[in-house]
Amino acid sequence: MDEQLCYAYAVLGASALDDKSLASVRGVADAPVALVRHGQVAAAVSAVPAAEFSESALRAGLEDLRWLEATARAHHFVIETLAGHTTVLPLRLATVYLDASRVREMLAGREAEFAALLDRLASHVEWGVKVYVEAPPEPPPAQAPTGAPAGEENPGRAYLRGRRHQRQAREDAWRLAEEAVRRTEEEARGLAVERTRHRPQQGGLAQVPGENIANDAYLVPRRLSEEFRDRMLHAADGLPGVRVDVTGPWAPYSFTAPLAPDAREGAGQR
């Protein structure tokens, strides 16, 4: 039989779910999901083949975009399925342990931390708020006029004037975008209890029109989610060329990262 490792998705309360509620949930490598418990906490895990998830195999897999996409999709599917039932602390993608006993050791060593964080995050969800600005187009390159009447403006001067207008339009657009960011921060007050600022997404990561100038995550009580979403969606009203995208609700990924087990606790320790 092929050697198996233990892939961990998230930490949750030990009594939050029973095993029957996970009977139909399948995760990475299409493996069934189970719970490993210790004291007040538990970890959702799957058995995965060592040939694909050992330390050396993971290094290669993380360079394979197709493998990475499939693994990330399954990883987040399990986390969001769990989050639909209870509070969870998402673990990093590809957090792998030698076996269930190593998972229990990790839970035992950090039980108090995990239990305290689960209690603090109970009934809260994460919302993503991104602000985009549409940059004005570049002016066309200068071209000499054909058959232009005497006294027509020099094409070089026309180009420079276009550049000035384009620069001014860009500055105006950024001022409007900064106003949208200010509005999102203002509207979040009294609703969100925490905020995490992420680096704006650029290039292929953005995947949507416009330039991303703010990329924030907010921790919001679940009961205030609809009001929060509605406020954010209207934050760019009256600001031409500016868009606010709102995603969620998610498990609190951005608010549990400091407690994610170090990769050295996983498959690297043989």
Q: What's residue 217's pLDDT?
A: 98
The CATH number that domain 4-122 falls under is 3.30.70
Give 236's DSSP letter.
T
pLDDT (0 to 100) of residue 148: 53
For residue 172, what pLDDT is reported? 75
CA 13 to CA 239: how far, in whole Å? 44
- 198 is written with which tokens? 């992420």
pLDDT the model gives residue 266 = 45
φ and ψ at 170, to 5 degrees?
-65, -45
Q: What is the CATH number of domain 125-253?
A: 3.30.70
Please tell me whether the overall predicted TM-score, pTM, comes out greater than 0.85 for this model.
no
**E strand or H helix that includes residue 165:** helix 155-188
Smallest CA-to-CA distance from 250 within 131, 83, 95 is with 83
pLDDT number for residue 173? 81
**Cα–Cα distance measured from residue 259 to residue 6, given in angstroms and rounded to the nearest whole number:** 19
| Alpha helix segments (H runs only) across 36-191 | 50-53, 55-61, 65-83, 100-121, 155-188
- Give the per-residue pLDDT at 203: 61
Domain ranges of the chain: 4-122, 125-253
Task: Give residue 21's pLDDT.
Answer: 86
Check if the beta carbon of residue 22 is closer than 8 Å to that of residue 37.
no
> Hunting for tokens 């210790």 — which residue is that?
38
pLDDT along the chain (270 residues), means of 10: 89 92 93 97 97 91 91 97 95 95 97 96 97 74 54 64 65 89 97 96 70 96 98 96 96 79 43
